[in-house]
Amino acid sequence: MKKTTAYVNKNVLVLGLGKSGYAAAKLMHELGAFVTVNDKNNMDGQPHAEELKALGLTVVGGGHPINLLDGIDLMIKNPGIPYSNPLVKEAEARKIPIITEVEIAGELSLAPFIGITGSNGKTTTTMLIGEMMKGSAKQPIVAGNIGTALTSVVEEATADNIIVAELSSFQLLGIRTFHPHIAVVLNIFDHHLDYHGTVENYAEAKAQITANQTANDYLIYNADSERVVDFIADKTKAIKVPFSTQRIEKEGAYVRDGVIFFKDQRILACSEMGLPGAHNLQNALAAIAASASFGVPATSIAEVLKAFTGVRHRLQFVGNIQGRTVYNDSKATNILATSQALKAFPGKKIVLLAGGLDRGNSFDALVPSLKAAEIKVVFLFGETTEKLKNACEQAGIQSIHCVRNVEAAVPEAYAVSEPGDVILLSPACASWDQYKSFEVRGDIFTEEMNKFR
């Protein structure tokens, strides 16, 4: 980590005690700042809160009192807390700088960054790049929105490392000087509009990933996405490296006659990839373009693509169980993600498990994908059961079963399935009506399915 005295005796307010807030608070304390941590939840007895108190930090829970801003030099905001939060709005009014931990990590890291953003596919692409970069001269560290706070890894990262960072639009809004050597932009859909307000604001947040890049850096971008091209690629100063599944992009990654190329170099046949689905082909092309631009050999890239079978809970291959091919796509918490999953199995009969938290939306947009897929049976659970049942009926699905939860769905799904079928958990909904997280939901699905091995 770079040495700095910039934070000595500075009054820093860390807003939100999640993983990133905890890591940022500890780091600021180590750098000599006077740190106050604030969270809307009661912090009494919370392990991280107690640890920070023991170090001498001030921890305030149970709300966001405005007087916490008195004398504050810097606010480090949890990315998920909106800028409409009264404490954040008051900090803006007082002209207190507001950043996220990404900015601090970029400022202090000795290791260069590969930053990956997009509406869908970030985690899979980040993991692919992390695996591919093991074939480079630098040792990769995978962190960011993927689950490991960036400020928790920069202390140990050296110039011999490269940090492969998944970055959300929330995180990118809080940067000022953050500068990835390679930026990857996968796609821009109508996501998080409750936070950003408009798709234009959302796209501009994503565009921050390349805002500080120079002509010595690389922007890997989806040439098939008009929004990515218009909002980001057309405005960058970096070297542009496109990827496309629809056309030959001689300066980037593309598919020709069922074979993946980077520039003029053959990587492997699409049929050799371990990951199913057209959306994963896009993720693979992005990872290839990023890794090859960094000098990773084509042989190393191909080996990763053959062996990589998915990130946990993201169209994860669970296994072949008594002839059934089983996939855990619990991370599919929206209609688009489930639509993509359904397209991943052309010609296969699918037993689909879906349902979860009701966020007020209908599932009419899912109907075309339900119609296009060869769905044998659907098992529905959770708050959205009736809404999803309506969508399935619109799609003409004949066999629809409403069950209590995932645990109840699995044995029934196995019973009606046959060898050669796909059993797919792809909920199209968040998990919080019944499960603490999509990870818990996916783990339960996997455990229950494994009982039939």
pTM equals 0.81
Alpha-carbon distance 226 to 215, whole Å?
Answer: 23
Read off the pLDDT of each residue in 349-359 and give the average, rounded to a whole number: 97
pLDDT (0 to 100) of residue 309? 83
Q: Do 341 and 315 form a contact (C-beta atoms < 8 A)?
A: yes
Cα–Cα distance measured from residue 298 to residue 265, given in angstroms and rounded to the nearest whole number: 8
- CATH superfamily membership of 316-450: Mur ligase, C-terminal domain (3.90.190.20)
Per-residue pLDDT, 327 = 96
Fold assignment, 11-99:
Rossmann fold (3.40.50)
At 120, the pLDDT band (50, 70, 90 cuts) reads confident
Confirm whether residue 122 is marked as ligand binding.
Answer: yes
Tell me the pLDDT of the chain averaged across its residues. Answer: 95
Q: What is residue 107's predicted lDDT score, i.e. its pLDDT?
A: 96
Q: What is the arithmetic mean of pLDDT over 377-387?
A: 98
Position 212 scores a pLDDT of 98
Look at residue 415 and give its three-state secondary structure: helix
pLDDT tens by residue, 57-108: 999 999 999 999 999 999 999 988 999 999 999 999 999 999 999 999 999 9
Q: Once rounded to an integer, what is the mean pLDDT over residues 412-424? A: 97
* Cα-based distances in Å from 148 to 113, 231, 245: 15, 29, 31
Under the phi-then-psi rule, with left for phi > 0, alpha for psi from -120 to 50, and beta for the rest, what region is 360? Answer: left
Averaged over 370-397, what is the pLDDT? 98
**pLDDT tens digits, 221-251:** 999 999 999 999 999 999 999 999 999 999 9
Q: What was the pLDDT predicted at 182? A: 98
Q: 275 falls in which pLDDT band (50, 70, 90)? A: confident
Alpha-carbon dihedral sign for residues 415, 383, 366, 364: positive
Mean pLDDT of 431-442: 96
The rounded distance, in Å, linking the Cα atoms of 70 and 11 is: 9
121 touches 186 (CB < 8 A): yes
What number does CATH give the domain 102-307? 3.40.1190.10
The pLDDT score that the predictor gives to residue 195 is 76
Q: Is 123 annotated as a binding residue?
A: yes
**Binding residue per annotation — 120?**
yes
- Least confident residue range of 28-32, 80-84, 407-411: 80-84
Please report the pLDDT score of residue 319 as a whole number.
92
How far apart CA 418 and CA 150 sit, in angstroms, is 45
Question: Between vectors from CA 417 to CA 413 and to CA 420, what angle results, nearest 5°?
Answer: 135
Domain ranges across the chain: 11-99, 102-307, 316-450
